[in-house]
Chains A and B, each alone.
Chain A
Amino acid sequence: MNAIELNGVTWRYEHAEEPALVDVNLAISEGEFVLVIGPNEAGKTTLVSAIKGLIPNAITGVLKGDVLVFGDRVESIKPPVLAKQIGFVFADPESQFTALTVEEEIVFGLENVGWPRETIGERVEWAARITGVEDLLDKPPYDISGGQKQRVAIASVIAMQPRILILDEPTAMIDPLGKDLVVRICAELKNDHDMTIVVVEHNIEAFAPLADKVVMVNEGRVERIAPPREIFRDLDHLLARDVHPPQVTQVFGRLRERGLYHGELPLSDEEGFAGWRTLLDGAAR
C-alpha cells in the first residue's frame, strides 16, 4: 500500500475560473523523500494541500478524483487522526502559530490528538531537541527570529510523530544559517526516523541530495516524476520553467551535454568534488 496516492485529482478554487490542479496522478511510497518543484503558481502548494486534506476540508472549491492516505480517502479521515498521520509545515511559519509560547505551540497538536501528559512531555523534549529550540520554550513564538520560527513550526508538527511530513517552502523566509538547520532536521528525520517526507521547494540545491524522487509540477499538471539525477538531465526544460537545479548539477550537466563528462550528475558539493577529481584524473592521463 502506498503512503500517498492521488488518482485523477482536479481541483478548482472557489471564485477561480481555471483549475489549479488538472488530472494529477501520483503515488508516494512509505519512507520516500519527495521533492516537489516547479515555477511559481504551478500548483505545488495546492498539490500538497490536497495530500494533507486542507483541500477540500479547510479550503473551498470543487474537487474531483481521490486522495488516499494509507488507503483511506483523506476527506473521510477525522482531523485528529489525520494529524497523527500527516504533519504539515506551512511556508509562513507565523501564520500557523496559535499559542502564546513556543512550548504551548508544540503541545497544542499533541493535546488535540489525545496524548496523555507524560507522553506530551517526552514528545516536547524530543521535538525541541531535534529542532534545537530547547532554549525558546518559554518565549512567544512570534517574538523570535525567522529561522527560529520555522524550527518551532517544524517542532510543533514533528512532535506528533506523523508518518508523513509535508513542508511547504520551509526555507523561503529564513536566513542561510536557518536554511541549513532545516535541511539537517529533514535529513535526520529521513535517515533516523524513516518518515515519509514531501518538500515543496525553490531552493532545490539544499534538498536534492536527500530526495528519492522529484515531482515536477507545471500549470497544475504533474509533468514528470523521476529520481533527481534523471529529472535534472534536461536542464533547458527546467530552466525554461524557472526551475534551477543545484549549481554543481548544472555545471556537470553542461559538461555532459558537451561530451566532456560521462559520470552520474552530482547533486551536492561533495559529489561535485568527486566529479572534478574524476575529470582531472582523466585529463592527467
Chain B
Amino acid sequence: MPRSEFAKKTLLGVVPADSPFYAFHPVTRLTLLLVLSVAPMFIDRPEINLAIIATTFGLFWWGGVRMSDLKKYRLLLVTVALFMFIVAYLAPGEKAQLTPVSLAGLTLYWEPMRWAFVSYVRLMAMLFGAILYFSTNRERDVLVGLRTLHLPFPVSYVAGLSLRSAGMFMEDFATIREAEQARALDLDALSLREKVKLYTMYTVPLFAVALRRADEISAALYARGYTLSGQPGTGGKRTDYLRDKFVVRARDWAVSLGLLGTLVVIAIVSRTTSVFSVQSSPLIAFVEQLLGIG
C-alpha cells in the first residue's frame, strides 16, 4: 500500500494523507465506530470478539496508523487484565455453586474466571474500536460526521471547540512539563505524592488560561456575527459549507448500511439463538477440557 509522505494529524496520532479511510465520508467512519463499540456487547464468545480485535488491528494497518502509537496502551491492557482476574479471584460469588479449579497451588473458580476472560476480550474489542476511530479521524471529520447527522449547529460547534481547546491545553501542559524537565526535573524519580503535587501545579494555570480564552473567543464570536442559537442573520437555515464539501457516495451508503445491517443481525441472533453465547464457544470448551471441567 503506497503511503503519502504527507501526514494528517488525527485526534490520537497521525495517518498518511492518502489513507484509504479518507475515501469514506466521516459519517461512514462514525458508523464504523458505532458498530465496533456496540457489537461486542451482544457477543459473549471470546473468539468472535478476538476476531473483531484482529479486524480492528487490520484496519489500523490498512488505514496507515503508526502501530508504534498503539504501544502506549500496553500497560493498560495488562493492568486491566490483572484487575479483572484478581477481582474474579477475590470475589467470585457464591462458591457453593461454582466449579473449583486448582492452578499453581491456588484454588480458582472457573465461572467467574471464564466471565472475566469473556468480559475482558469484549472490553478490548470495544476500546480498540474507539481508539481506531480517534486514530484515523481529525477533529474536522468528527464535526462533519455530527453535522451530517443534522445535530444543531451549536452542538457541533461546542464539540469542535472542545476538541480544539483540548489540543491547546495539552500543548500548554506539555510546554510546562518540558520547561520543568529543562530545569532538570526527573519525573521518573518522583514519588506518587510528588507527582500528584506537580500535576496539580501544572493544571491550575490551565484554568486561568481558560478564563482568558473564554473572554477572547466570545468577543471574537460576537465580532463575527455569531448568535447563541447559531441562526444566521438572514433567518432561515444556516449554510453548512464544510459539510456540503463532503459528499456521501454510493460506497458510503453501501458500507454504512452493511455495517448497520450487520449490527442489527448480531443483535437479533444474540437475542434469539445461542450462537454468540459462551456455551457455543469452542475455545472455552477446549479450555474446559484441558482443565477437566464438565
Contacts and interface: CB of A to CB of B under 8 A. Distances in A.
Asked if chains A and B are in direct contact (CB within 8 A), the reply is: yes
Interface of A: 52-54, 57-59, 78-84, 87-88, 90, 92, 95-101, 103-104, 107-117, 120-121, 140, 142, 156-157, 160
Interface of B is mostly: helix
A259 B233 CA distance: 58
B138 interface: yes
A100 B225 CA distance: 18
Given A59-B219, A100-B139, A82 B225 contact: yes
A112 B223 contact: no
Interface in B186-245: 213, 216-227, 232-236, 238-242, 244
B227 to A, nearest CB: 6
A235 to B, nearest CB: 36
Give the 7 A-B CB pairs with smallest separation, nearest first: A80-B233, A83-B225, A114-B234, A114-B232, A96-B220, A95-B216, A112-B225
A99 B143 CA distance: 11
A98 B241 contact: no
B161 to A, nearest CB: 6
A79 B225 contact: yes
Interface string B148-176: 00000000000011011000100000000
A84 B238 CA distance: 16
A79 B226 contact: yes
A100 B213 contact: no
A111 B240 contact: yes
21 contacts: A53-B222, A57-B222, A58-B219, A79-B225, A79-B233, A80-B227, A83-B223, A83-B225, A95-B216, A95-B220, A98-B161, A100-B139, A100-B160, A103-B242, A110-B239, A110-B241, A111-B241, A112-B225, A112-B227, A112-B233, A114-B232
A109 B236 CA distance: 16
B114 interface: no
Given A110-B239, A117-B244, 7 more contacts: A90-B219, A100-B139, A104-B242, A111-B239, A114-B238, A117-B241, A160-B225
B239 A114 contact: yes
Contacts, number: 115
Nearest to A85: B225
Contacts of B218: 58
Contacts of B9: 140
Interface residues of B, number: 34
Interface of B: 9, 138-140, 143, 160-161, 163-164, 168, 213, 216-227, 232-236, 238-242, 244
Given A95-B216, A107-B242, A79 B222 contact: yes
Contacts of B140: 100-101, 104
A120 B225 contact: no
A221 to B, nearest CB: 24
A131 to B, nearest CB: 16
Nearest to A86: B223
B239 A115 contact: yes
Nearest to B223: A88
Nearest to A105: B224
B223 A113 contact: no
A54 B224 CA distance: 11
A249 to B, nearest CB: 33
Contacts of A114: 232-236, 238-239
- Which of B220, B234, B235, B244 is most buried by chain A, counting CB atoms within 10 A of its CB? B220
A84 B138 contact: no
Given A104-B140, A114-B239, A109 B216 contact: no
Contacts of A90: 216, 219-220, 223
- Which of B160, B168, B225 is most buried by chain A, counting CB atoms within 10 A of its CB? B225
A119 to B, nearest CB: 9
Given A80-B227, A104-B242, A112 B232 contact: yes
A100 B239 contact: no
Contact of B233 (A78, A100, A120, A157): A78
Given A80-B227, A107-B242, A54 B138 contact: no
Contacts of B220: 90, 95-98
